[in-house]
Amino acid sequence: MADHFEVIVVGAGPAGNAAALTLAKAGLDVLQLERAEFPGAKNAQGSLLWAPALEQLIADFHARAPLERHIVEQRLWTLDGDSHTGSRDWTTGTGSSAPDRYTILRAPFEAWFSSALRAAGVRVAFATTVTEVIREVDGRVSGVHTAGGGDFYADVVILAEGVASLIARQSGLREDLHPQTVALTIRELRRLPRPLLENRFGVQGDDGVVIEASGVFAPGIRGTGFVHTNRESLSVGVGCMVGDIVVSDLTPSELLARFKRHPSIKPLLADSEVVDFSAQLSPEGGYRVQPRLFGDGWLCCGDGMQPGSPAHREGATLALTTGRLAAETIIELSRHGRPMSARHLSLYRDKLERSPTLRLLHKQHASDSAAEEEHVFPVADPRRLVRASRVLRRDANGGGRQKRMLRHFFRGSESSREVSGAA
């Protein structure tokens, strides 16, 4: 293999794939390096895929990608000890536009995505771990060292290595992670015969349901849980801030076990069996903790730039979007014959700031912070929310009591903040 390329992409998760595919389609010579033995073996791509970000890369993916179910119903639940309150948002998904969310299984989906990259001309090397970036005497990044696979050089290196960002940290391009800015998500894939699943969740054909829950899984631990329906399986998981797990007595799998034992969740899982298990970190720091995103000869995208925030669960969407924008920055500079210096790569920051997806995240972060400062974040104490909801349901004529209950709920929410969104 040649040892010089126009671009090296480190990582074959959604961010690296989006970057490599966009670059190759524009005719650039791209090498993608991935430490896993095969597509999807080590990345964190989840089970819920928002369509628009992938549509921008592969317009007809709806017809070509291995998709499980398209989501017609979203249930948002707030759990207390033995019950829940929540909402159901249902759509037929048969309007003029294609469905906007799907469940996917990581292994077949990543294999398909990777084959699309190779078809577009990306050179993909699996089982190749990058150990460090190569720097010139002036500090410019000019390539990467790999474990046992030699050195590779490029005009620019895209770091799409996920949340742990080991290379960026070891190469002094970013600081260490803080436990309060990363969540740990533990997920099981549970096989459930199709007729049982469809009967239990009230769906048919390729329709699917997503349940997202926040609740008191354990005192003092912030977290959320989820149940996603696939064709013949369920993805079930919980996500909690690493800092909270560290100070608690519970192991991550005990947290998952508590979620699965909850009376609202347990019946949904009956007769299912575990076929896969994974635990991964995901960024939750958002704009507050964003590291440097580019420098002379390098850019970073995806989870490594800490795009997540507790209220935002579309990690793969952000990864696909930032990967594409990193690639479009390079394509633009290359067309104008500009060097890949920090000064010119700052165009990436402009593109991120103009991106509707990233602007939405920024706004969401601002409203999260405002809500936290004002102590009115409505999931602050799920038990209050469940109690308030019960009063509203059972006490239809008791206007005075309802008002008192709601006042009590909002006023008191600052005193207990056991749960907010993660994962």
Ligand X SMILES: Cc1cc2nc3c(=O)[nH]c(=O)nc-3n(C[C@H](O)[C@H](O)[C@H](O)COP(=O)(O)OP(=O)(O)OC[C@H]3O[C@@H](n4cnc5c(N)ncnc54)[C@H](O)[C@@H]3O)c2cc1C
Residues that bind ligand X in the complex, under the rule CB under 6 A: 10-16, 33-36, 42-48, 129-130, 160-162, 166-167, 185, 187, 237, 278, 280, 282, 302-303, 314-317, 319
Look at residue 48 and give its three-state secondary structure. Answer: strand
d(CA 406, CA 360): 30
Q: Which is nearer to ligand X, 185 or 389 (CB)?
A: 185
The residue among 35 and 84 lying less far from ligand X, judged by its C-beta, is 35
CB 148 within 8 A of CB 47: no
- Which DSSP category does 249 fall into? S
Q: Report in angstroms how near the CB of residue 328 gets to ligand X at its nearest.
A: 17
Write down the residue that tokens 């793969």 correspond to.
316
7: closest CA among 123, 113, 114?
A: 123
Q: How far is the CB of 393 from ligand X (least distance, A)?
A: 31
- Residue closer to ligand X by CB (options 43, 272) is 43
DSSP string, 75-123: EEEEE-SS-EEEEEEE--S-SSSPPSEEE--HHHHHHHHHHHHHHTT-E
Nearest approach in angstroms of CB 314 to ligand X is 5
Nearer to ligand X, 15 or 241 (CB): 15
- Choose between 10 and 268: whose C-beta lies nearer to ligand X: 10
Please report how close the Cβ of residue 239 comes to ligand X at its closest, in angstroms: 7
Q: With contact defined as beta carbons under 8 Å apart, do 99 and 51 qualify?
A: yes
Sort 55 into a burial class: Cβ within 10 Å, 0-12 / 13-18 / 19+. Answer: middle
Residue 165: CB minimum distance to ligand X, A: 8
CB of 361 to ligand X, least distance (A): 12
Give the residue from 413, 412, 423, 409 showing the smallest Cα distance to 377.
Answer: 413
The residue assigned the tokens 């391009």 is 173
Contact 76, 87 (CB under 8 A): yes
The rounded distance, in Å, linking the Cα atoms of 234 and 273 is: 10
Our CB check for ligand X shows the closer of 133 and 385 to be 133
By Cβ distance, which residue is nearest to ligand X? 46
Nearest distance from residue 11's CB to ligand X, in Å? 3
How near is the Cβ of 34 to ligand X at its closest, in Å? 5
- Cβ–Cβ contacts within 10 Å for residue 187, how many? 22
Q: Which of 15, 173 has the CB closer to ligand X? A: 15
- Comparing CB distances to ligand X, the nearer of 228 and 262 is 228
Of the pair 237, 382, the CB lying nearest ligand X is at 237
Is-contact 40 107, C-beta < 8 A? yes
Q: Residues in the chain, how many?
A: 423
Q: What are phi and psi of 10, to 5 degrees?
A: -95, 115
Task: Tell me whether residue 279 or residue 376 sits nearer to ligand X (CB atom).
Answer: 279
**Measuring CA to CA, which residue among 323, 310, 293 is closest to residue 10?**
323
CA dist list (Å): 204 to 71, 195, 209, 236: 11, 9, 11, 20
Q: How far is the CB of 323 from ligand X (least distance, A)?
A: 7
Report in angstroms how near the CB of residue 129 gets to ligand X at its nearest.
4
Pair 28, 331: CB distance under 8 Å: yes
